[in-house]
């Protein structure tokens, strides 16, 4: 059983070893999909937790108790085809290769399966063809 979560750490928690406690205290495995510390030194982490469902629930409560903002990864990025001009500015920004250029048509392609909804392509797109659906 696995769950994709988006964790936002306040700057006061960025230097604390919080994720390791999920392994020690809740016997969970984690796979970090994305980790980011903003210039304001807040931490943003997208991870997949695997293990007992009850333990995942307890782990989420534990994280919330520490002041971590926890959200299920239920956001989805969508490409509005008519707005996309196929410039490719988004491609090198995508951390997971969910955007690429088709070598024959020179069209930008997007895979929602690979996407982790980090949202960087929304900023990189000059014509705002990428949108976040929640």
The C-alpha atoms of residue 88 and residue 49 are separated, in whole angstroms, by 33
Closer to another protein at the Cβ: 69 or 83?
83
Rule CB under 8 A: say whether 85 interacts with another protein. Answer: yes
Closer to another protein at the Cβ: 31 or 85?
85
The C-alpha atoms of residue 12 and residue 106 are separated, in whole angstroms, by 45
The C-alpha atoms of residue 114 and residue 92 are separated, in whole angstroms, by 15
Rule CB under 8 A: say whether 93 interacts with another protein. Answer: yes
Rule CB under 8 A: say whether 89 interacts with another protein. Answer: yes
Contact 46, 34 (CB under 8 A): yes
Smallest distance from another protein to CB 54, Å? 40
The C-alpha atoms of residue 3 and residue 100 are separated, in whole angstroms, by 27
- Report the interface residues with another protein, using CB under 8 A: 39, 85-93, 100-101, 105-107, 120, 123-124, 126-128
């Amino acid at each position: 059983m696995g769950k994709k979560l988006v964790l936002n750490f306040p700057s006061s928690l960025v230097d604390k070893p919080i994720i390791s406690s999920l392994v020690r205290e809740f016997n969970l495995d984690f796979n970090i999909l994305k980790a980011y510390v903003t210039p304001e030194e807040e931490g943003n982490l997208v991870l997949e937790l695997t293990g007992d469902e009850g333990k995942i629930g307890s782990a989420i409560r534990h994280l919330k108790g520490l002041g971590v903002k926890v959200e299920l990864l239920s956001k989805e990025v969508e490409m509005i085809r008519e707005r996309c001009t196929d410039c490719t500015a988004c491609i090198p920004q995508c951390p997971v290769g969910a955007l690429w250029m088709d070598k024959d048509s020179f069209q930008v392609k997007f895979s929602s399966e690979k996407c982790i909804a980090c949202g960087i392509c929304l900023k990189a797109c000059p014509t705002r063809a990428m949108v976040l659906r929640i």
